[in-house]
């Protein structure tokens, strides 16, 4: 209506000619002033050109075109409510039959179509139906107009081939979410649509398909947004826009909103989900028009994202990846925990080095560079084994705040860097490694909780009494219907914590005269736990039919055995006080 109003007028005239209609009414929302202005000018120009009025183009066909402004209202998307408004009555849907094509405006047969449909008619007539259908898919021919909004880089209205995916719309066309944020999902289809999780962003959108485009409204939802608040907003809008004619919609939608608020206040109470589902089904089946029938859709889809808490099990559920926002800066729990683990590790290593009479400041300097190199190595390891994704989205490579730090890559690169710098700066290598080893495993125990907040590094589905709830956007497509998974991040965190206490409480006193042994015990014990836990994980990297992390763990166990034997022999043959650096 704003960009090419003549195309809409032409489509409406062709539709009138095809159906034998003698009058066209273009109904424009009362707040769409620019659309009405440009459409009114296009109608006037069409009249001047002889395309509107009596004997169009000299033929025995006449058609009057009227521009009608309405007060607005969401219910006017229902065709019979629109007819009531045009006739000067309150906008409420009519019972059917009769349908508008039989008895519509003032009792006469009436064809009602939206702007998108009418605007496509000139191209279909000009190039043929086969050409237009070929632009889309067999189930969804032609093109589709989408309105992209939310925190994305390039919001706006776009027309694309039907059968597009949300991934293409939000990432490729929309430029992704601002600030490099991860997406939780998208509200698709406007207030009467539903929340589509990010796990389904690669599914082709088709009417009545797994992901339906609906009206074409797309609102991107960033990670950390409250699904409950989104559902409440949509329900509140539908409740306010209800025309009030039918009881299920008038009374049911406010009651659904109240149920959601009850669930927020008393999450431990039983029966909320069942009651919400029952009421939503009643509203869908009994409402007179599409507004009420579609109003519960967002809630029904959102209920899939809320974990059950009342079955007696210990259910762990992430509160979200974002800790807080400070102006344009988004602070994530993953980053906080990584920084905490590094800080605690540095403090512990420096304190132990001072206690043992080692050059604590020099050891800390080596450790700082080793950590930096380790973080780079962890990221490169992740990118290398997940290149199918990062090759398509290379701008995601630096986005470490979204997760994706491979532990083995960090340990290998950090270890080699630390040894090389210690030798270069003549810092005693083996005693330094023994000082740093407990700090490393404690940092890993803390850092693993970043995976919890990001909903990553979890295991396969489980029905054990302890389990981790994973929201739909983070579930693998093959497990989209599963809700509870092994909390492998927790298993590894607890194992690492046990290794830490074993190192500082039992092994350190016993191997005080065997420099390097504590470090190799760390490598071996960590590798044993990681090998076992990795067998449960769903996100493993594979090479030649083997899990890469398990291969690295086997290598770590071998290094530990060889290293312990070497340090033992070295301790019995080397002069007292000799270090690797010397």
Q: Is residue 503 part of a domain?
A: yes
Q: Is residue 171 part of a domain?
A: yes
Same domain? 223 vs 247: yes
With 90 as the cut, is the pLDDT of residue 122 above it? Answer: yes
Q: Give the pLDDT mean for 459-474.
A: 85
Same domain? 162 vs 67: no
CATH number of the domain encompassing residue 242? 3.10.20.600
Give the whole-angstrom CA distance, residue 85 versus residue 78: 11
Strands 466-469 and 484-485: antiparallel
Token readout for 426 is 């003549």
Which domain range does residue 535 map to? 329-573
With 80 as the cut, is the pLDDT of residue 106 above it? Answer: yes
Which residue has better confidence, 311 or 166?
Answer: 166
Q: Which residues contact 536 (CB under 8 A, 6 or more apart)?
A: 459, 460, 486, 488, 491
CATH number of the domain encompassing residue 28? 3.40.50.11540
Which residue has better confidence, 242 or 355?
Answer: 355
Per-residue pLDDT tens digits for 125-157: 999 999 999 988 888 889 999 999 999 999 999
Confidence of residue 424 (pLDDT cuts 50, 70, 90): very high
**Residue 88 pLDDT:** 87
Q: Is residue 289 part of a domain?
A: yes
Q: How far is CA 502 from the centre of its chain?
A: 40
Q: Give the pLDDT mean for 493-502.
A: 97
- By the 8 A CB rule, do 52 and 64 touch? yes
Q: Is residue 322 part of a domain?
A: no
Q: Is residue 579 part of a domain?
A: no
**Residue 269 pLDDT:** 53
Same domain? 118 vs 253: no
Q: Which residues contact 531 (CB under 8 A, 6 or more apart)?
A: 549, 550, 553, 554, 557
Q: Of 106-110, 210-214, 268-272, 459-463, which range is least confident?
A: 268-272
Final residue of a structural domain among 97, 113, 131: 131
Give the whole-angstrom CA distance, residue 242 versus residue 450: 43
Which residue has better confidence, 350 or 312?
Answer: 350
Same domain? 383 vs 472: yes
Same domain? 151 vs 100: no
Same domain? 169 vs 115: no
Same domain? 98 vs 154: no
Per-residue pLDDT tens digits for 218-263: 999 887 777 778 888 888 888 888 888 888 888 888 888 888 777 7
**Residue 309 pLDDT:** 45
Confidence of residue 304 (pLDDT cuts 50, 70, 90): low
With 80 as the cut, is the pLDDT of residue 535 above it? Answer: yes
Domain count along the chain:
3
Smallest CA-to-CA distance from 212 within 190, 236, 242, 237 is with 190
Same domain? 60 vs 153: no
Burial of 495 (0-12, 13-18, 19+ CB in 10 A): buried
Element (H, E) at 484: strand 484-485
Which residue has better confidence, 309 or 376?
Answer: 376
Question: How is 239-286 classified by DSSP, letter by letter?
Answer: HHH--S-SHHHHHHHHHHHHHHHHHHH-TT-SSHHHHHHHHHHHHHHH
Q: Of 107-116, 385-394, 538-547, which range is least confident?
A: 385-394
With 90 as the cut, is the pLDDT of residue 511 above it? Answer: yes
Same domain? 485 vs 345: yes
Same domain? 127 vs 145: no
For the entire predicted model, the pTM comes to: 0.55
**Residue 536 pLDDT:** 96
With 70 as the cut, is the pLDDT of residue 576 above it? Answer: no
Q: Is residue 26 part of a domain?
A: yes
Same domain? 461 vs 370: yes
Q: Is residue 73 part of a domain?
A: yes
Q: Of 97-101, 111-115, 324-328, 552-556, which range is least confident?
A: 324-328
Final residue of a structural domain among 80, 100, 131: 131
**Residue 315 pLDDT:** 65
Q: Give the pLDDT mean for 500-509.
A: 96
Give the whole-angstrom CA distance, residue 579 versus residue 426: 10
Smallest CA-to-CA distance from 92 within 292, 237, 354 is with 292
Confidence of residue 276 (pLDDT cuts 50, 70, 90): confident
Q: Is residue 114 part of a domain?
A: yes
Same domain? 161 vs 105: no
- By the 8 A CB rule, do 93 and 81 touch? yes
With 50 as the cut, is the pLDDT of residue 581 above it? Answer: no
Q: Give the pLDDT mean for 58-82.
A: 84
**Residue 471 pLDDT:** 74
With 50 as the cut, is the pLDDT of residue 582 above it? Answer: no
Element (H, E) at 7: helix 5-19
Question: How is 63-89 classified by DSSP, letter by letter?
Answer: BEEEEEEE---GGGGSHHHHHHHHTTS
**% the chain with pLDDT above 70:** 94
- Residues pairing with 144 in the sheet: 160
**Residue 313 pLDDT:** 55
Give the whole-angstrom CA distance, residue 6 versus residue 12: 10
**Residue 30 pLDDT:** 80
Final residue of a structural domain among 303, 318, 338: 303
**Residue 271 pLDDT:** 64
């Amino acid at each position: 209506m704003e960009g090419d109003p003549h195309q809409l007028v032409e489509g409406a005239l062709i539709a009138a000619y095809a159906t034998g209609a003698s009058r066209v009414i273009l109904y424009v929302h009362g707040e769409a002033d620019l659309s009405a202005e440009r459409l009114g000018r296009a109608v006037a120009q069409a009249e001047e050109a002889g395309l509107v009025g009596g004997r169009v183009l000299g033929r025995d066909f006449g058609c009057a075109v009227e521009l009608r402004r309405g007060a607005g209202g969401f219910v006017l998307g229902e065709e019979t409510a629109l007819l009531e408004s045009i006739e000067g009555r309150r906008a409420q849907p009519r019972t059917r039959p009769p349908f508008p094509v039989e008895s519509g405006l003032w009792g006469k047969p009436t064809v009602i179509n939206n702007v998108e449909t009418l605007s496509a008619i000139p191209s279909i007539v000009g190039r043929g139906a086969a050409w237009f259908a070929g632009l889309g898919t067999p189930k969804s021919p032609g093109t589709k107009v989408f309105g992209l909004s939310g925190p994305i880089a390039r919001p706006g209205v776009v027309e694309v081939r039907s059968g597009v995916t949300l991934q293409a719309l939000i990432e490729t066309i929309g430029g992704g979410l601002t600030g490099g944020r991860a997406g939780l999902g998208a509200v698709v289809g406007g207030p009467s649509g539903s929340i589509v999780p990010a796990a389904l962003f690669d599914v082709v959108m088709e009417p009545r398909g797994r992901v339906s485009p609906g009206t074409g409204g797309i609102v991107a939802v960033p990670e950390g947004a409250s699904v409950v608040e989104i559902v409440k907003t949509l329900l509140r809008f539908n409740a306010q826009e209800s025309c009030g004619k039918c009881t299920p919609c008038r009374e049911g939608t406010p009651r659904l909103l109240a149920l959601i608020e009850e669930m927020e206040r008393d999450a431990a109470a039983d029966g909320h989900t069942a009651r919400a589902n029952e009421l939503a089904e009643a509203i869908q089946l009994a409402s007179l028009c599409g507004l009420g029938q579609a109003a519960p859709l967002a809630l029904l889809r959102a209920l899939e994202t809320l974990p059950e808490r009342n079955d007696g099990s210990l259910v762990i559920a992430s509160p979200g990846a974002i800790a807080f926002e400070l102006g344009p800066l988004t602070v994530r729990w993953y980053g906080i925990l990584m920084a905490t683990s590094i800080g605690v590790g540095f403090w512990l290593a420096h304190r132990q080095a001072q206690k043992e009479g080692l050059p604590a400041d020099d050891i800390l300097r080596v450790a700082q560079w080793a950590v930096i190199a380790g973080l780079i190595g962890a990221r490169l390891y992740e990118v290398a084994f997940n290149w199918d994704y990062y090759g398509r989205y290379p701008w995601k490579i630096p986005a470490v705040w979204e997760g994706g730090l491979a532990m083995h890559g960090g340990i290998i690169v950090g270890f080699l860097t630390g040894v090389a710098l210690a030798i270069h700066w003549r810092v005693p290598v083996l005693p330094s490694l023994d000082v740093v080893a407990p700090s490393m495993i404690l940092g890993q125990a803390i850092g693993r909780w970043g995976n919890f907040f990001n909903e990553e590094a979890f295991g396969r589905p489980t029905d054990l009494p302890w389990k981790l709830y994973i929201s739909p956007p983070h579930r693998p497509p093959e497990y989209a219907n599963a809700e509870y998974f092994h909390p492998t991040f927790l298993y590894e965190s607890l194992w690492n914590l046990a290794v830490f206490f074993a190192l500082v409480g039992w092994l350190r006193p016993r191997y005080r005269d065997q420099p390097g042994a504590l470090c190799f015990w760390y490598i071996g014990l960590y590798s044993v736990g990681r090998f076992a836990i990795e067998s449960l994980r769903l996100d493993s990297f594979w090479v030649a039919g083997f899990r890469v992390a398990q291969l690295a763990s086997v290598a770590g166990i071998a290094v530990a055995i060889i290293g312990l034997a070497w340090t033992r022999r070295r301790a019995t043959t080397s002069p007292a006080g000799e270090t690797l650096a010397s």
